[in-house]
Amino acid sequence: MKKNGFTLIEVMAVISIIVLFFTSINFSISYLYKLQEPSLDEFSDTIIKCINDARFYCINNESRGEIQQIEENNVIRFRTTNEELMRINVPKNIKIYSTDTNNFKKGITIDKYGSITPVKDIVIKSENKERRIKVNFYSRGIYEK
């Protein structure tokens, strides 16, 4: 007797192997996305570096700059009057705001001497942790409080 197809057991075995394969890929990809999100400490260090680099850029190029948060894109950017020089994506699990307003949308301005206005603290929050960055007017650098 000649067999023309697959048995039900063979078809079920192949389908179950395919389902296991795609499930493992899905878990791997979601795990990689979690690994790509920076921790609160790493993101706080990135913001400090951004502010310090922006200050030094303004001093060295004798130009004025502005760092502000764009909430629609969940991005923090540094720009001068001519161009945007730096862009930082804010992770979904992190909220950032300043102590004088509810958000960081108004931003901070840096003049050609490196002076920062308005003076405020930047608060970076995660689910269970909070970090504060102290921003001084004539600071030699930005530091964590």
Position 141 scores a pLDDT of: 53
Position 10 scores a pLDDT of: 87
Judge whether residue 53 has pLDDT over 70. Answer: yes
Return the CA Rg of the chain.
25
Q: Of the candidates 49, 45, 46, 51, which has an alpha carbon nearest to the alpha carbon of residue 65?
A: 51
**Measured in whole angstroms, how far is the alpha carbon of residue 76 from the centre of its chain?**
8
pTM: 0.66
Q: How far apart are CA 145 and CA 132, in angstroms?
A: 6
Q: How far apart are CA 48 and CA 135, in angstroms?
A: 9
What CA–CA distances, in Å, run from 25 to 14, 15, 19, 28?
17, 16, 10, 5
Position 1 scores a pLDDT of: 57
Q: Where are the beta strands (DSSP E) in 5-112?
A: 65-70, 75-80, 84-89, 95-98, 108-110
Judge whether residue 132 has pLDDT over 60. Answer: yes
Judge whether residue 136 has pLDDT over 80. Answer: no
**Confidence class for position 30, pLDDT limits 50, 70, 90:** low
Highest mean pLDDT: which of 1-5, 26-30, 65-69, 98-102? 65-69
- Average pLDDT for 131-139: 73
- Average pLDDT for 98-117: 74
- Average pLDDT for 27-33: 58
**Measured in whole angstroms, how far is the alpha carbon of residue 65 from the centre of its chain?**
20
Position 143 scores a pLDDT of: 55
Instruction: List Cβ neighbours of 138 (8 Å cut-off, separation of 6 or more).
Output: 114, 115
Q: How far apart are CA 75 and CA 72, in angstroms?
A: 8
